[in-house]
Structure 1
Amino acid sequence: MSNSEDKKDFIREIIAEDLSSGKHAAIITRFPPEPNGYLHIGHAKAICINFGIAQENQAQGSRCHLRFDDTNPIKEDVEYVESIKKDVEWLGFDWGENLFFASDYFDYLYDCAVSLIKEGKAYVDLQTVEEMREARGNVNTPGTDSPYRDTTPEENLSLFEKMRDGGFEAGGAVLRAKIDMASPNMNMRDPAIYRVLNVDHHNTGDKWKIYPMYDFAHPLEDAKEKVTHSLCSLEFEDHRPLYDWVVANCPTPSTPRQIEFSRLNLTYTVMSKRKLLQLVEEGIVSGWNDPRLPTLSGMRRRGYTPEAIRNFIKKVGVTKFNATTDVALLEFELRAHLNKIAQRRMAVLDPLKVVIDNWAEGSVEEMECQNNPEDPEAGTRKVALGKEVYIERDDFMEDPPKKYFRLGPGRAVRLRGGYILQYVSHEKDEAGNVIAVHVEFLPGTVGQSPPEGVKCKAAIHWVSAEHAVDAEIRLYDRLFTAESPDAEEGGFMSCFNEESLELKSGAKLEPSLGEAPAGSVFQFERVGYFCADSEEHISGEKAVFNRTVGLRDSWAKK
């Protein structure tokens, strides 16, 4: 391993020091998603950091918790909980017995709020949202105290109980921490820590009418679970003083340390749950697992591998500086992994029939083709060849240019793993379109050089017409045409790529692809990497394949 690969990032350096100094005997991290949407590639970075660090220090008894911060039942759903579990497992991580929910701690969080009230450090505010917003001030102007700020602890306890028991309409009252309305950090200006929602919760039913705010609940959950290092993205850096204040002023069993790292941003996509939800709800994409989305479920359906994503996250690294990573780097890691593991198959997406005139009617030969030249243990397979085959339409030209080495008048070409074919003639329909090409095969040319006088500089993929499997092919591309959709003047939808999905309904596949299990990924020779669709592909009945990624970055030229 190189020195650069050995070098630890700043978080791992902190953790190594904490272990070596004896500050912590073991490391406890957590991945705390809100179950209000599906995870995306940005979350994968947080997953790999939190679970990865715990794995690296497993010998010391370190662990990572999976905890759902389910403090806002209005936007949450059990569907999201189950999808998040599936995504974390798919990425290769295991939380073991350490599965928790913020709702597990609602009684504890309530008791902490009561403790703050009794100590005069929290009060119930009955102002309207607009009044509180106006009184909060801005970065240049200090806030002004609420008229309820000096209410006695006894009165506040009574009001808080009224909030708990449903005595206020939703939004009619909030519990605020009493900190500093003149603080230069806006998060410290008496932040709301409880609000009235009056809705049922997917875990606790109708027990609660009030729910804690994230900035109050999160540090207490970490402390309750004795998390040592609370690792989060940079947007929470300004929230750290509030995190520390909550831990210091509530009855907590431990003192976690919050450390921030840069979030993952990618070109040609958006990673806001709100915007992804908009795409789903407006039917612009087919659902959260649409293969064009950066959601982990969408990437899995498209054929991405967890190994490629983990390698990508490792290459991006852990820093304190926000930046945008070119999606081409992710695609490079995907190609590198698939090139090693994906078996090769032949598929013709835009078929043109080729008739081998000197082939005996009804005769079939089996050609031997490599499964993966990058993997010696992958072996070979037999592929049937008959009198008629399909080739790609652009592998034949009536008037080919000088450096065109595929099939055309006066040209010869080799079938991949098979014979050399010599052009004879071609047929057209009334509109002038080529509908069939006639050729003759040259005996003795399987795996052999062309005979003297025959020039053959290319091998093309093909599928036997008699044995071909019909398939629907979905050519997925980038969802947006601009590198930074969020920065577009007309909004992110103004650069939506109308060509992000192209359907090929007449494709012809090598027979074994029709039997492939859903979710399996192959390299279609000379075309790209494709995945049997996990939703609609039915082995032996219906062939539906999604393009995972091309053999090279076609956008590099744009």
Structure 2
Amino acid sequence: MAEASRPQNFLTEIVERDLAAGLDGGQVVTRFPPEPNGYLHIGHAKSILLNFGLARQYGGRTHLRFDDTNPTKEEVEYVESIEADVRWLGGDWGEHLHFASDYFERMYACAERLILEGKAFVDTQSQEEIREQRGSFERPGVESPFRNRPAAESLDLFRRMRAGEFPDGACVLRARIDMAHENVLLRDPLLYRIRHAHHHRTGDAWCIYPMYDYAHPLEDAFEGVTHSICTLEFESNRALYDWVLDNLGPWSPRPRQYEFARLALGYTVMSKRKLLRLVEEGRVAGWDDPRMPTLAGLRRRGVTPEALRDFAELIGVAKNNSVVDIGKFEFAIRGDLEARAPRALAVLNPLPVTITTWPADRVESLELPWWPLEPARGGRQVPFGRELLVEREDFSEDPPADWKRLAPGREVRLAGGYVVKCDEVVRGAGGEVIGLRCSHDPASLADAGRKVAGGTLNWVHAPSAVAAPVRLYDRLFTVEQPDAVEDFLTVLNPDSLRVAAGARLEPALAAAEPGSRWQFLRQGYFFADPVESRPGAPVWNRTITLKDTWAARQAPRAEREPRRPRPAAAAGEPRRSREELRAEQLAADPARASRFARLQAAGLGADEADAVAADPAATALFEAAVAAPADPRAAARWLVNELAGLAAGRPLDSLPVTGPAFGRFVALVESGRVTPAGGKVLLAALVARGGEPAPLVAELGLEKVTDRAAVEAAVDRALAARRAEADRYRAGEKKLFGVLVGAAMKETQGAADAALVRQVLQDKLG
């Protein structure tokens, strides 16, 4: 039995039950079976950690097996990258490295046995004919005219298939199961097809290859796997898995398949087809681009295997699919790096500072610890002199009341150094700020407790600072579910990679080893790129920011604006209401008060008016939209709840969406021509491309679908794809109705009438 401290989930319960019953001779053998047709991604990491961890937890073993049954898409490069990724995550398969191609001869012998026993036949129809005859979720299949072909004839054809007598697609081997079965996968499925293609391991020895659903259970059985753990989309395939084993056994141990929810992560795509498209179209720099969710990309970004294990434990093992908040992954990364990354000084967007009270020719070495809270772990000498650099964003000429950084007349402490005061702003020919002149307090270095109005700033000594490429990586997509958008490429984040070309780092970082991790004070966690770094010249990749800045950028601008502190209530004074506080804020800001009054006059409630009035650009866009005309309440709702989030921190007046176009967009949705879900897709397209909403509705196919036949077709597709959920709904899991509604809506990009979808679903589900 597992100890109480070990991770517990429904799979550990199954294993413990089997061990208690004495099944499989007390063995636990799992496997990780990737197809070598792409690089592994973070979703595979969950499966790797689960399979290897489960076997390790119960004293078993895990096999690494490549399902190389499709030579047209497989490459040695992928095999090598997968092995490296599994090792990196701590997977140890020992001597158990296997390939499906190791078993091609045994699989072929099993297929001949099925033919001789009347359980398989060679079909010489076209793929289109076979596909049509298999029927659908609502329509039973039709038997092939070759289904009762004599075994001797099928065996002869099958051997001739192997000998290479037929071209691709001329014939296939099919199992003889049940063409009326409710599970479409059991309607005489394909077992072998012809592929005249060079295999990366067997060369040209074979021209017929087994289908995955036939090969996979046999591989498990040949290797003695006890618990074959798959993701949930293979739930319907389990019946075929069992049919293959039941008709080609006996096996000892007899493998059993179990399914868990695959990892779907926000702001990420994990389809190999889509990831390959990103690579092939040059949208990223390769499979190991640090923006990619591939394990190679995460490794190059500086994410550790320990962080991935922490993340896997954080989200657990579930039976139902859901989208995991990417914030949980980022939380695990930060928690891991916090304990392993020494602190260093770096300025990414420099603003020159001259310490006028410091002698021009004097340079002092300050002893700074790598770990400020644990100075015993060592430190380094950092030069300090008259000419310094600070972050440009750490200075404001007109700061808000809660500003904690540098401003005219404001004192701050330089990290590990002196307190300085801004005395003068230096301007360029165009009036722009090009530098600051500050004075320092000589006694403040020894007086660590000296109070300052501002906070603590990072800095570097300008003459000795090291220039280095610093790449600022961010999320690759601007929306949480890019797969839900018609073309996922339209929601690529244009700021997923920015290069801080003027970055300057403290001198000690020039000697940073490739592959080392650091925290740049107040900036984030950074990784010395192991591919492009050279001795004495590291290239830096930002792994992650110190805090979740994305949530703040996605919030409506009214919520992002610095808020002036509320005066503390006197003892015994009753707490003021929201209305009283709003009145106080408006009284302090006449321009905002004027906007607020106009918005209320336009028909908005106080809360809506307050949210829009907080941003002059939002007010202007709203008023132009209402003049278009658009319903005021609807325009405010779409502006605050959707458009502000899509702006991703950009000023609203910098977007390609004009006020009148936004108003016509709102009118389209409110008129019912576009569903609310379709409206979100349409608005995202307007933010990305600009233009008029009506033509985009037609281009994107977002016109509300009210035709019952079209809705029925969409529902049929959804039910076919969600066969398992539909069966479970009919068996009593009524909560799955919403899942099926969502699947059907997705089939129409959210354009179907939701009430009609629900009605059609109810009719079809009974």
TM-score, normalized by length of structure 2? 0.70
Instruction: Find the counterpart in structure 2 of residue 169 from structure 1.
Output: 167
Taking the aligned partners of 1:450 and 1:316, their CA distance within structure 2 comes to 42
Residue from 105, 108, 112 that aligns with 2:106: 108
1:374 and 1:342 map into 2 onto residues whose CA distance is 13
Q: Is the 8 A contact 1:479 1:496 kept in 2?
A: yes
Residue 233 of structure 1: CA displacement? 0.5
Contact 1:224–1:252 at 8 Å: present in 2 too?
A: no
Question: Within 5 Å, which residues of 2 pair with 1:289-308?
Answer: 289-308=288-307
Instruction: Look up the match of 1:555.
Output: 550
C-alpha separation in 2, matches of 1:524 and 1:324: 32
| Structure 1 Cα separation of the partners of residues 7 and 216 of structure 2 | 31
- Name the SS for the 2:318 alignment partner: coil
Match of 2:496 in 1: 500
Q: Aligned to 1:466, what secondary structure does the other structure show?
A: helix
What is the one-letter code of the residue matched to 1:218?
A: H
Counterpart position of 1:192: 190
Q: Is the 8 A contact 2:414 2:457 kept in 1?
A: yes
1:40 aligns to what? 41
Q: Which residue of the partner structure matches residue 537 of structure 1?
A: 533
State the secondary structure of the residue aligned to 2:70: coil
1:477-516 to structure 2, matched below 5 A, reads 477-488=474-485, 490-516=486-512
Equivalent residues of 1:340, 1:374 under 8 A apart: no
Structure 1 gap ranges (5+): none
Per the alignment, residue 365 of structure 1 pairs with: 364
- In terms of fraction of residues, the more helix-rich structure is 2
Of the structure 1 ranges 435-444 and 384-393, higher mean CA displacement relative to structure 2 is found in 435-444
Secondary structure of 2:413's partner?
strand
Q: 1:238-277, aligned counterparts within 5 Å? A: 238-251=236-249, 253-254=251-252, 255-277=254-276
Give 2:77's aligned residue: 79
Q: CA deviation at 1:494?
A: 2.5
The Cα of 1:447 is off from its aligned counterpart by 4.3
Deviation above 6 Å: which 4+ runs of structure 1? none
Q: Which amino acid in the other structure matches residue 314 of structure 1? A: E
Contact 2:410/2:454 (CA < 8 Å) preserved in 1? no
Q: Take 1:539 and 1:512, find their aligned partners in 2: how far apart are those partners? A: 13
How many angstroms does 1:553 deviate by?
Answer: 0.9
2:10 — aligned with what?
A: 10
Range 300-309 or range 244-253, more displaced: 244-253
1:528 aligned residue (519, 524, 527): 524
Aligned AA (2:260): F
- Residues matched between the structures, number: 549
Q: Which residue of structure 2 lines up, in the alignment, with residue 283 of structure 1?
A: 282
Q: 1:339 to 1:4 in 2, by over 3 A?
A: farther
Q: Distance in 1 between matches of 2:4 and 2:43?
A: 24
How far apart, in 2, do the equivalents of 1:57 and 1:373 lie?
42
CA distance in 2 between partners of 1:352 and 1:503 (Å): 17
- SS of 2:500's partner is strand
Paired letter, 1:448: D
Contact 1:340 1:375 in 2 (8 A): no
- Describe the superposition over 1:105-132 as per-residue Cα deviations: whole angstroms up to 9, x where unpaired: 1111111111111111111111001100
Q: Which runs of 5+ in 2 are unaligned?
A: 555-766
Partner of residue 200, structure 2: 202
Alignment of 1:468 with 2:469, yes or no, is no
Deviations 1:475-532 (A, max 9, x none): 11111111111112x3322222122111211100112222212222211111111111
Q: Matched residue of 2:468: which SS?
A: strand
Q: For residues 311-335 of structure 1, what are the alpha-carbon distances to aligned partners after superposition, in whole Å with 9 as ceiling and x for unaligned?
A: 1111111121111110000001111
Partners in 2 of 1:258 and 1:374 — Cα distance? 50
For 2:332 and 2:490, how far apart are their aligned partners in 1?
29
Q: Contact 1:122–1:177 (CA<8 Å) still a contact in 2?
A: yes
Structure 1 Cα separation of the partners of residues 226 and 357 of structure 2: 76
Aligned residue identity for 1:13: E
Task: Give the secondary-structure state (helix, strand or coil) at the position aligned to 2:307.
Answer: helix
Distance 2:261 2:404 in 1: 49
SS of aligned partner of 1:258? strand
Question: What is the aligned partner in structure 1 of residue 132 from structure 2?
Answer: 134
The amino acid of 1:91's aligned partner reads L
Note if contact 2:34-2:67 (Cα within 8 Å) is conserved in structure 1: yes
Instruction: Please give the alpha-carbon distance, in whole angstroms, between the structure 2 residues aligned to 1:7 and 1:500.
Output: 35
Q: Distance in 2 between matches of 1:103 and 1:443?
A: 74
Closer/same/farther in 2, CA of residues 265 and 158 from structure 1, 3 Å limit: same
Query: How far, CA to CA, are the matches of 1:456 and 1:314 in structure 2?
Result: 42
Alpha-carbon separation, structure 2, partners of 1:7 and 1:383: 46
- The question of whether the paired residues in 2 share the 8 Å contact of 1:388 and 1:465 is answered with yes
Shift of residue 5 of structure 1? 6.0
The answer to whether the Cα contact below 8 Å between 1:124 and 1:176 also exists between their aligned partners in 2 is yes
Instruction: Check whether the contact 1:109–1:217 (CA below 8 A) recurs between aligned residues.
Output: yes
Amino acid at match of 1:556: A
**Equivalent runs, 1:431-442 vs 2, <5 Å:** 431-442=430-441
Q: Counterparts in 2 of 1:138-153, with a 5 A limit?
A: 138-153=136-151
Higher relative contact order (CA 8 A, sep 6+): 1
Deviations 1:355-377 (A, max 9, x none): 22232333222222232246566
- For 1:399, the equivalent position in structure 2 comes to 398
Task: Tell me the equivalent position of 1:333.
Answer: 332
**Do the aligned residues in 1 keep the contact of 2:403 with 2:454 (CA within 8 Å)?**
no
1:80 offset after TM fit, Å? 0.5
Query: 1:556, CA displacement in angstroms?
Result: 1.8
User: 1:68 corresponds to which residue?
Assistant: 66
Q: Decide whether aligned partners of structure 1 residues 7 and 477 sit closer, same or farther in structure 2, where only a CA change above 3 A counts.
A: closer
Indicate the SS of the match to 2:45. Answer: helix
Deviation per CA, 1:67-96: give whole Å up to 9, x if none: 000100100001001111111111122111
Q: Which residue, 113, 120, 123 being the options, matches 1:122?
A: 120
Partners of 2:374 and 2:170 in 1: CA distance: 66
3-state SS, counterpart of residue 421 of structure 1: strand
Q: Is the CA contact (8 Å cut-off) linking 2:65 and 2:100 kept in structure 1?
A: yes
Distance in 1, Cα, partners of 2:446 & 2:217: 67
- Counterpart of 1:474, as a letter, is R
Report the secondary structure of 2:65's partner residue.
strand
Give the equivalent residue in structure 2 for 1:324.
323
Letter paired with 2:531: E
Following superposition, the deviation at residue 242 of structure 1 comes to 0.5
One-letter code aligned to 1:487: A
Contact 2:261–2:319, Cα closer than 8 Å, also in 1? yes
Q: Which amino acid aligns with 2:296?
A: S
Give the distance between the partners of 2:216 and 2:389, measured in 1 at CA: 60
Deviation of 1:397 after TM superposition, in Å, equals: 2.5
Q: Please give the secondary structure, in 1, of the residue aligned with 2:526.
A: strand
Alignment check: 8 A CA contact 2:352 2:436 kept? yes
Identity value in percent: 53
User: Cα offset for 1:465?
Assistant: 1.1
- Give the corresponding residue for 1:28: 29
